[in-house]
């Protein structure tokens, strides 16, 4: 049995979660481009297609990554955390991408494509159908419509550029110039003033960056839409 994705798509609102949001950029054919932030604060750009029986396929780029993350969701799945799966991804009659390193948990499976992403991008933009096959288990092959895929991928690439520009601006923030700073003359402490005062400034807290594209990363479907400006 073959199941078709990309026809009769209906968007449903996502439940709210703290700090997370997702906002659609544009819909082209079967695909919707979006920008989001996970509840852990990671920025990402993505495109998705939705099918019957709770099936959704996402292509995501998390800020700072050099690969694209694929996530396939199905509401009826109940996958033990950390389960490794074999997958085959193919566009039309082209050679398939196969992986034995896909990781599943709960209701989704995740894998990445790094090497050869340019070739995949060309096939994805110009193809008619994408086939996602599960050699192991009882899940039937997914057949995904690529109608509108070129325009949707273009929007995703534009979003990725915006993320990179934002990161560049943060890295290029001006720093104080020691040579331009004047040293205040030393004054001995007065009896009415203590020789040492505790600084009012505390070091900024540093949080370790979460690993990219891991199944533990909160999914886009579980975050609330971004608040609209008045």
Task: Summarize pLDDT for 108-161 with one digit per residue, the tens.
Answer: 999 998 777 889 999 999 999 999 999 988 899 999 999 999 999 999 999 999
What is the pLDDT at residue 171? 55
- Whether the per-residue pLDDT at 87 is higher than 60: the answer is yes
43-47, 57-61, 180-184, 215-219, range with the lowest pLDDT: 215-219
86-90, 137-141, 203-207, 219-223, range with the lowest pLDDT: 203-207
Distance separating alpha carbons of residues 23 and 192, to the nearest angstrom: 58
Q: Which residues of 158-181 are buried (b: 16+ CB within 10 A; e: fewer)?
A: ebbeebeeeeeeeeeeeeeeeeee
Q: What domain range is 82 assigned to? A: 2-8+17-94+103-169
Q: Which pLDDT band holds residue 203 (cuts at 50, 70, 90)? A: very low
Asked whether residue 219 is assigned to any structural domain, the reply reads no
Distance separating alpha carbons of residues 168 and 212, to the nearest angstrom: 19
Asked whether residue 208 is assigned to any structural domain, the reply reads no
Distance separating alpha carbons of residues 44 and 156, to the nearest angstrom: 10
Asked whether residue 195 is assigned to any structural domain, the reply reads no
What is the pLDDT at residue 163? 87
Distance separating alpha carbons of residues 161 and 18, to the nearest angstrom: 26
Asked whether residue 113 is assigned to any structural domain, the reply reads yes
Given strand 97-106, what is the order of strands in its sheet? 2-5, 141-145, 129-133, 79-91, 97-106, 108-113, 68-74, 55-62, 43-50, 31-37, 21-28, 224-225
Asked whether residue 131 is assigned to any structural domain, the reply reads yes
Asked whether residue 189 is assigned to any structural domain, the reply reads no
- Share of residues in the chain with pLDDT > 70 (%): 64
Pull the structure tokens for residue 108. Answer: 């989704």
What is the pLDDT at residue 113? 83
Pull the structure tokens for residue 69. Answer: 């993350």
Q: What is the mean pLDDT of the chain?
A: 74
User: Which of the listed ranges 60-74, 111-125, 175-189 does the model predict with the highest average pLDDT?
Assistant: 60-74
Asked whether residue 190 is assigned to any structural domain, the reply reads no
pLDDT mean over 82-110: 93
Distance separating alpha carbons of residues 18 and 9, to the nearest angstrom: 27
Q: Which pLDDT band holds residue 8 (cuts at 50, 70, 90)? A: very low
What is the pLDDT at residue 170? 57
24-28, 76-80, 222-226, range with the lowest pLDDT: 222-226
Asked whether residue 125 is assigned to any structural domain, the reply reads yes
pLDDT mean over 63-77: 94
Distance separating alpha carbons of residues 101 and 144, to the nearest angstrom: 22
31-55 tens-digit pLDDT: 999 999 999 999 999 999 999 999 9
CA 188 from chain center: how many Å? 56
Number of domains in the chain: 1
């Amino acid at each position: 049995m073959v199941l078709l994705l990309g026809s009769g798509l209906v968007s449903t609102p996502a439940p709210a979660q703290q700090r997370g949001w997702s906002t659609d950029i544009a819909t082209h054919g079967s695909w919707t481009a979006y920008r989001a932030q996970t509840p852990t604060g990671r920025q990402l750009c993505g495109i998705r297609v939705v099918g019957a029986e709770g099936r959704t396929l996402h292509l995501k780029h998390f800020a700072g990554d050099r690969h694209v993350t694929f996530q396939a969701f199905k509401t009826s799945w109940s996958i033990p955390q950390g389960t490794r799966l074999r997958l085959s991804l193919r566009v039309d009659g082209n050679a398939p991408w196969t992986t034995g390193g896909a990781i599943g948990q709960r209701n989704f499976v995740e894998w990445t494509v790094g090497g050869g992403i340019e070739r995949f991008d060309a096939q994805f933009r110009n193809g008619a159908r994408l086939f996602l096959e599960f050699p192991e288990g009882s899940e039937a092959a997914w057949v995904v419509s690529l109608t509108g895929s070129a325009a949707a991928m273009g929007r995703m690439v534009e979003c990725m550029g915006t993320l990179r520009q934002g990161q560049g601006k943060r890295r290029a923030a001006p720093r104080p110039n020691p040579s331009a700073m004047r040293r205040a003359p030393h004054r001995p402490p007065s009896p009415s003033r203590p020789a040492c005062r505790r600084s009012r400034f505390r070091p900024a807290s540093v949080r370790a960056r979460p690993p990219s594209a891991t199944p533990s990363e909160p999914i886009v479907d579980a975050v609330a839409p971004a608040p609209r400006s008045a």
